[in-house]
A and B are shown apart, each in its own frame.
Chain A
Amino acid sequence: MKSVSPAIRGWLSFAIGAVIAYLVGMGLVFLASGSWTYLHLVPVLFATFGSVTAYSWGASGYSPITKGFVWLDLGSLIGFALGLGIDLLVQGTLDWVAPTASLFALLFGFTAFFLGVAGFNAASKGLIWQIIGTLLAAIFVSVIRAAMGLTWSGPFLFSEPAWVLGGFMGVLFFLGGSGAVDDWFKWARGIDTPEHHEEHYSGWEKYLHISYDHKVIGIQYTVTALFLISVGGLFALIFRTELAASQLQFLTLDMKLFGQNGPQLYNSFMSLHGMIMIVSILLGMAGITNFVVPLLLGAQDMAFPRLNSFAFWISVPASVLLLMSLVLGGFDTGWTGYPPLSARAPVGMQMFFLGVFTAGWSSILGALNNIVTVVRMRSKGMTAFRMPIFVWAAIATSIIALTATQFIGLAFQMVMFQRLFGMGFFDPAKGGNPVLFQHLFWFYSHPAVYVFILPGLGVISELLPVFARKPLFGYRWIAMSSLAIALVGFLVWAHHMFASGMNEYLRVPFMYSTLLVAIPTGVKFFSWVATLWKGKIWAPTPMLFVLGGIVVFLLGGLTGPPNATVSTDLHLTDTYFIVGHFHDTIFGGFVFPFFAAIYYWFPKATGRRMNETLGKIHFWLMTPAFFVLTFGMMRIGLLGMRRRIVDYDPALNFDYTHLVMTVGGFLIAISVLIFIYNFFNSIKNGEKAEGNIWNSRSPEWQVPSPMPTHNYDQLFEVVGEPYDYGLPGGSKYVEFIAPAKSKHP
């Protein structure tokens, strides 16, 4: 077997593992139900986990990762058995699809994975403490309720108030247990702490521990985002498969999982697809910003390294809460969570609110850190209009995130309190107003879409000159357009509510303000085209994604104004047209630039580059598939396809389009799998790339890759324009001056 390559051994094991695990799963179903079913969830789940574990084992032997997967499988099984037992004790019936069993499987599986990979580390310790904290607080509330003579148990094991306090305490326990707040407590007791912890850990292990290095945190963010993108994408594939034909196929009224029937499960998957993708976008862009901004500024780190670490680690328990919402009965409101529907949804709704609330902290604190870093830590000579353009985008984004995120947290918190304490904020029976929620919600959630796209547009502006070999056309206009979009973005929220029954006369001013967004966005497009004009364009993988991003974002941008003019919007709103429009803006503004940024800066983090051929396959598979998907969405949306429905009227003749869209969705998933394989494989086996492989003027490429722990050994001074490509005789953007001072105070 020595002559067989690890990859082939891996795939062989993958196939064998999948078959064996599938058969085992079928056997268990037979034992439990007494009949052979081939298409059952249990064997499919077994095959999925079994094959991944077997692949890892075949490719790398009993490595830490393999160990992690083995522990994940065992942990899930143990958790499932434990949950089943508890459920049996409390409910008195053996229910194989009980939410309790699934919940314990989820939590134990996660924790066991990190334990298996590297023993006790920040992630595994945090998760263990999160479970302990959740259960302790929930039991605490249950005991009090029992003592007061109230019901303490429910179909989800605990009552709703117990779960809410449990979920909240779980987050706090996670932060305490993981060590993300250790230094602050030490300072309070008068103990000094060193700046850099990660030096104790070698190689990849530092990513599982608390680190204050912005580059480590950037990668932690990015990998977490990739994980969440995979989860959110998986949810999308599940419901896209159901939509491939009219009528209910597998999400039927008779099926039951996590305490939900098929249509309820569809709503939960669809809602979580939205919110998990949003969180992954926030984390993904935080990852790029964290890694790149200090390097572009010539800073040694972010302004507040501990706050930076805290902002990352709080997003982990937030993600766990979001996933918990699926198994705790789910929720059927979409990511928007409009009351009164969200005031009636199952317990999962509360976990969703708590998860978003917590993830919001991450966003706010990250933004604060970013602004201070840019204001205070630029290199000598880096005036506002000599900053790399990405920094401008990061600043505009941070201003929105810092000032608007509170509103979604507040709106969700009000519904949470309405459910817990009977406060009728949005309950008309108590004098509340359901439309008020929509105002509060969109006051954040519209500017939020600019949080999703502005960093991506910054990546496009940053990379375009490098690959066009020309200065960025109209640098100042592009910089100002980001700020203009951020500012106007605050004045347009009610365009989501043209059909909501709000005051009729408000619709016209909001139409005007909304259409104004087109102007700074247009400036960006025209400037990008002018940057390409008469360049010397070359198109390796990062540039392909930049160009793809421009075209896709253009489609998203152009399909926007019909939603802004009120009368056409009354037809378009809440249809699949909106879904198509939104996916265009997010793929163009986030997904394509995010991939471009990863392909581009990957060598800076690892000293190796990702495989070009696989990168190009990724691009050429994903882009056409994506066009098919969103053109299909917009086409049937105009003709009468509503949003957020598990089934559609066969008389509308949408079956064929939906089938094609589903195929497109799966092609996108395959392309992303290729990317993920390329990403992890290139860390070890990629071609060495230690120099300035993109021939960029940017400071981070003037020093060898990977970037050393303390960034620049020599400080630099800005002596020219950032994008002066094509000057005869050449010019410089930065000049290295003196050795950096020690960062250990």
Chain B
Amino acid sequence: MGHFLVVGILVIVVAVLTYFGLDAVGLMPVQASAQSVSIDWLWNWEIIAISFLFSLIVVPMIYSLIVFRRKKGETGDGEHIEGNTPLEIGWTVVPLLIVLVFAYMGAYSLGDIRRADPDALVINVKAQQWVWTFEYPEYGIISKELHLPLNQQVVLKMQSTDVIHSFWVPEFRIKQDVVPGRVTEYRITPTLIGDYKVRCAELCGSSHYSMESPVIVDSQADYDAWITAQSAIAAEAAKTPEGQGQLLTVRNGCIGCHSVDGARMTGPTWFGLYGENVELADGSTVVADDAYLAESILNPQAKEVAGFAPTVMPPFALSETEIANIVAYLKTLK
């Protein structure tokens, strides 16, 4: 019995040390949503189980390697033990029970994070290569940032215009794919004021890595102020062609690939573009005038800019007025 006693004590010591070690390291990001509490509760129990099972296997293994190793000059075999049926049944049935408990806890936690509030705030999310666009239908606001009020449940109705994307804010814990051809739902209750980021978690093409947008959890007062300000900006912008053009570039996700300040992104920058010479992939140059810009929106592959990946941009079926407004906006970027 001596061996079993020593190993038993060691297993418990190592399990406790492993758990508290992992706990001290801090495995998860901050909890910024009501749902994350439920998920972290389950995670914590899983870490306890993992710590225990890890030491239950590794400790007797290492103990055997040290105590039962073949010493110098020894040639004999070990003890002839073929098996032990009660033991085998035991380590089949006990894990089965543990697994069922965890499955129940998993179902409980899932039910908890999916609990719906009938008064939840609805925000529409559009995902496309490689930009998120957020629409607040009640206020007619289109934004490239997601602002959320504190302690209020939000339902994101998500749609994709091209390939599969996935909405993930690590501090919220939950992830949901955005699938073309259907609306998927993301339900969250933010509980911590702060600046976070939504990061696309489903490989969506060459610039997948850069598909990140700010997510800002505001106090109710700040949120209301933001809504008021955005509504005013939208109303103001709608008065001029340049302003309407700018709104269109947000609504259509253009700014996901084209910078307005000269930075290198997936597509050419718009800064100082209008009226300049553009070098094309086939070596020729063209002046960025109204006709060229209109063609590049309607049929992006007609003239490909040198140094940029071909066939990346989809065609945008916009009306003549819309295109004229966008071009008017581009002229202001100097």
Contacts and interface: CB of A to CB of B under 8 A. Distances in A.
A425 interface: no
Interface in A73-88: none
B179 A435 contact: yes
B39 A570 contact: yes
A428 B180 contact: yes
Given A429-B181, A646-B209, A648-B209, A570 B76 contact: no
Contacts of B84: 473-474, 530
B119 interface: no
B175 interface: yes
Interface stretch (A228-236, A312-320, A348-356, A553-561): A553-561
| Central interface residue in A474, A527, A534, A565, by most chain B CB within 10 Å | A565
Given A263-B207, A519-B99, A523-B88, A470 B77 contact: yes
Given A515-B102, A640-B170, A726-B80, A260 B309 contact: yes
B64 A501 contact: no
Contact of B175 (A254, A338, A428, A499): A499
Interface string A513-533: 001101100110111111011
A470 B57 contact: no
B27 A341 contact: no
A289 to B, nearest CB: 26
Interface string B100-111: 101101110110
A645 B208 contact: yes
Interface string A86-98: 0000000100000
Contact of A537 (B65, B102, B184, B206): B65
Given A501-B182, A554-B57, A644 B203 contact: yes
A562 interface: yes
Interface stretch (B133-141, B147-155, B194-202, B243-251): B194-202
A434 B164 contact: yes
Contacts of B2: none
Contacts of B207: 263
Contacts of B259: none
A333 interface: yes
A499 B166 contact: yes
B58 A471 contact: no
Contacts of B200: 642
A726 B70 CA distance: 13
A332 B206 contact: yes
Contacts of B206: 261, 263-264, 267, 332
Contact of B57 (A434, A499, A525, A564): A525
A451 to B, nearest CB: 23
Interface centre among B68, B91, B203 (most CB of A within 10 A): B203
A154 to B, nearest CB: 11
A518 B91 CA distance: 11
Interface in A532-582: 532-539, 547, 550-551, 554-555, 558-559, 561-562, 564-568, 570-571, 573-575
A468 interface: yes
A511 interface: yes
A575 B27 CA distance: 14
A143 interface: no
Interface string B300-328: 00000001111000000000000000000
B262 interface: no
A533 B68 contact: yes
Contacts of A647: 209-210
Given A470-B78, A519-B96, A264 B309 contact: yes
B28 interface: yes
B181 A428 contact: yes
Contacts of A305: none
Contacts of A558: 50, 53-54
Contacts of B282: 93
Given A532-B61, A561-B46, A333 B78 contact: no
Contacts of A378: none
B81 to A, nearest CB: 7
Interface of B: 3, 25, 27-29, 38-39, 42-43, 46, 49-50, 53-54, 57-58, 60-61, 64-65, 68-70, 74, 76-84, 87-88, 91-92, 95-96, 99-100, 102-103, 105-107, 109-110, 112-114, 162-164, 166, 168, 170, 173-182, 184, 197, 199-210, 212, 264, 266, 282-283, 307-310
A334 interface: yes
A153 to B, nearest CB: 15
A341 B264 contact: no
Contacts of B109: 565-568
Contacts of A428: 180-182
Interface residues of A, number: 95
A565 B309 CA distance: 40
Given A264-B206, A570-B173, A643-B201, A535 B181 contact: no
B60 A340 contact: no
Contacts of A639: 28-29, 170
Contact of A473 (B46, B81, B102, B168): B81
Contact of B61 (A260, A518, A550, A561): A550
Given A477-B83, A533-B68, A568 B61 contact: no
Interface of A: 93, 155, 253-254, 260-261, 263-264, 267, 332-334, 338, 340-341, 344, 428-429, 433-435, 468-471, 473-477, 499-501, 504, 507-508, 511-512, 515-516, 518-519, 522-523, 525-530, 532-539, 547, 550-551, 554-555, 558-559, 561-562, 564-568, 570-571, 573-575, 635, 638-640, 642-649, 721, 724-728
17 contacts: A332-B208, A338-B202, A434-B179, A470-B78, A500-B177, A508-B107, A516-B99, A519-B95, A528-B61, A530-B87, A532-B65, A536-B76, A551-B58, A565-B102, A566-B109, A571-B174, A640-B170
Contact of B203 (A341, A523, A562, A573): A341
A473 B64 CA distance: 14
Contacts of A475: 82-83
Contact of B91 (A261, A522, A566, A649): A522
Nearest to A514: B103
Given A341-B163, A501-B176, A523-B88, 9 more contacts: A260-B309, A470-B77, A471-B83, A473-B83, A474-B83, A522-B95, A527-B88, A561-B49, A570-B176
A559 B176 CA distance: 21
A638 B105 CA distance: 21
A628 to B, nearest CB: 15
By Cβ-Cβ distance, the 3 closest A-B pairs, closest first, are: A428-B181, A565-B106, A535-B78
Contacts of A535: 64, 68, 78-79
A532 B180 CA distance: 53
B99 A537 contact: no
Nearest to A639: B29
Nearest to B93: A519
A515 B99 contact: yes
A510 to B, nearest CB: 10
B176 A499 contact: yes
B200 to A, nearest CB: 7
A567 B179 contact: no
B44 to A, nearest CB: 10
A550 B60 CA distance: 13
Contacts of A468: 68, 78
Contacts of B184: 501
Contacts of B197: 649
B314 to A, nearest CB: 9
Nearest to A262: B206
Nearest to B112: A567
Contact of B88 (A474, A547, A648): A474
A136 to B, nearest CB: 28
B309 A574 contact: no
B65 A547 contact: yes
A429 B314 CA distance: 15
A125 to B, nearest CB: 38
Nearest to A504: B114
Contacts of B310: 155
Given A558-B54, A566-B110, A570-B174, A638 B28 contact: yes
